[in-house]
Amino acid sequence: MKTFTRAGLAVLVALVLTTASGCTPNKEKEDKKASDMQTASEADITRRVNEYAGQVAAATGSTLANPATSSAPCEGRRGEMDESIRTVQGVYNIPVAPDKHLETLARLRDQWRAQGWTITEDRTFPNGNEGTITAKTTPDSYSLTVSGTKEPTALLLLVHSACYKSTDPL
C-alpha cells in the first residue's frame, strides 16, 4: 500500500474537493436560467397573444370571431410554481369555408416555416376534409394551433403564451 506525505494528502484532498464542487449546481447558471423568463404584465402578454391571432387571421384572409383570452398559473421551465408565473391563452374562431380548411392549414404551415417557427403537429383528420397544425414561435416560444371544428364553417385558433413572471399585483 502506498503512503502519502502530508503535502501529497493535501493535494489529493484539494483535487477531490475541486472535482466534487464541479458536480454541484452552478448558482450563476441557475440564476441565468431563472432570469430568462420574461417579466411582463398580463395586459402586455394578452396584447401579444391577440397580435399573433391577428396575424393568423390575416394569413387566412379572414377575421377573428368569438375572441376570448384568459390567464392561468404556469409551471416554469425549471419547475417553478408560483402564482406570479402565468400564461395567457387566446381562443378564437376563424370563418373559413369547409372546402378551404386544408388549403388554409397548408398556407399557414408554409408561412410559419418561412418565419422560422417549429411545426410541432401537422396532420389531416380521418375524414380527409379537416386537420390541425401547431407551431412554436421564435424567439418567444408562443404556441399557435389551428384546427378543424365541429362547426365546418370555421377553424379554431388557440394561442398560448410562454410562461412569464407577472408584474401585476397578486
Higher pLDDT, 122 or 130: 122
Mean pLDDT of the 68-76 span: 94
- Burial bucket for residue 57 (CB in 10 Å: 0-12, 13-18, 19+): middle
Mean pLDDT of the 89-106 span: 95
pLDDT given for residue 26 in this prediction: 42
* pTM of structure: 0.77
Please report which confidence band the pLDDT of residue 23 belongs to, taking 50, 70 and 90 as the band edges: very low
Is the distance from CB of 53 to CB of 159 less than 8 angstroms? yes
Give the CA angle between residues 102, 105, 109 to the nearest 5°. Answer: 140
Q: Which residue is listed with cell 397578486?
A: 170
CA distance 85 to 73: 6
pLDDT given for residue 82 in this prediction: 87
Mean pLDDT of the 65-92 span: 93
Residue 6: in which H helix or E strand, if any?
Answer: helix 6-21
Mean pLDDT of the 119-145 span: 93
* Rounded (10°) angle between helices 42-60 and 101-114: 120
